[in-house]
Amino acid sequence: MDNNNIRKCQLCKSFVRIKITSTNPLTIEEYGIVTTQFGGHFCGSNCALNYVLQIKKKKKAQIKKLKVECV
Ligand SMILES: [Zn+2]
């Protein structure tokens, strides 16, 4: 299994969830990756929200709504 193609959560650094769609040839698909309006890819909405909150603190910007998106 080639782990190099699988991305890690930007926040907690654990691998994002994958599913094996084919065994011959081995095809792995990422799923359940959550992204935000600031980009990034996360293992779940919890990490995505924490990421948004971190940016919000750093920028002290007025962010009207927190939005996470499942891709
Ligand atoms: Zn995470």
**Separation of CA 58 and ligand 1 centre (Å):** 19
Report d(CA 40, CA 33) in Å as an integer. 9
Confidence class for position 71, pLDDT limits 50, 70, 90: low
**Cβ-Cβ contacts under 8 Å for 39 (sequence gap 6 or more):** none
Ligand 1 centroid distance, CA of 35 (Å): 11
Alpha carbon of 2 to ligand 1 centroid (Å): 20
**Each residue's pLDDT tens digit, 15-67:** 888 899 999 999 988 888 999 999 999 999 999 999 999 988 887 755 566 67
6 alpha carbon to ligand 1 midpoint, in Å?
14
Residue spans of the domains in the chain: they are: 3-70
